[in-house]
Amino acid sequence: MDPIERGDAGSAGLEQEVRAWLDRNGYRLEMKVVQSLIPLARIVEQGGQYVDAETKLVREFDVQASWGLVGAESGLHSFSVLAECKNTQAPWVVFSGGDDWMWGAFLPTVGSESSCPTCVDVGDGVVAEAVRGIDQWGYAVTEKRNPDKGSSTDHARDAVLSAASAAYSMVEAFRQRPMPWTANESGPKYHNYMQVVPAVVTTSPLFTCSLDERGEVLLREIEIARVAARPYPRLGRVPVVVARPEAFNTFMAAFVSAGRAAAGTDWARK
């Protein structure tokens, strides 16, 4: 029996209120994302916290999935996907055109060494390539708002910037974390590596928008894209994955499968 049901009309009404509240505040979508990641990741966290790298304030993220590879001679390699979840209905528009910006944007990463196979094959290879491999790309994103109805918040832009700044902040925190096992000792010189993929999962329809040769607007509905975002004004751009739930699940399944193969070990739960 559902624990909230007590067999009376009042309890049934309370349950409906709770269900509506969960949907209205996006918890159902967060739970769906978590459920899809649990079979893939070693650690999945919902509603965790991080310290913002610029403001030093404690902030909350929606969902994080993490994998770690620890080697006796290679140190610690940590990979994460950080997902903002937006239960929205208004269409999101990804602006595209010109040269692909991807080669001038980089995932938040620290500790990469060109002589390390894991850094090169998994981090610079599988993880970065999975994001680069998303065909649809954009230099900005916005939500179709209706100011006449009091809708002024751009959930799309805010979510992408939030995911980018959270990913950058987590990498900065990792950079500053004391690592006692890496002290200057005789023997192998360990290094510690972290890479975070920022993502946004939305229930809104997604459209890519560009101009043709005559300046006419071209719109096409899509399921997933990579969008350039600048976490903070002083920083360069990072790629953020923006996807509808099913497309995000497909992206993650392929991402983890390729990562496991490249790592040469079972870096995922199964």
Any domain includes 212: yes
The dihedral built from the CA positions of residue 37, 230, 123 and 176, taken in this order, carries a sign that is: negative
In whole angstroms, what is the distance from residue 255 CA to residue 50 CA? 24
Any domain includes 111: yes
In the chain, the number of structural domains is 1
pLDDT at 42 over 90: no
Any domain includes 269: no
By percentage, how much of the chain surpasses pLDDT 90? 54
Q: What value does the mean pLDDT take over residues 155-183? A: 85
pLDDT at 68: 83
pLDDT at 72: 55
Q: What value does the mean pLDDT take over residues 158-176? A: 94
Coil, strand or helix at 1: coil
What global pTM score does this model have? 0.87
Q: Which domain holds residue 249?
A: 9-263
pLDDT at 49 over 60: yes
pLDDT at 269 over 60: no
Any domain includes 135: yes
pLDDT at 86: 95
Any domain includes 268: no
Coil, strand or helix at 136: coil
pLDDT at 66 over 90: yes
Any domain includes 77: yes
The better pLDDT of the pair 184, 151 is held by: 151
Any domain includes 213: yes
Any domain includes 132: yes
Tokens for 148, please give them.
């006449």
pLDDT at 3: 55
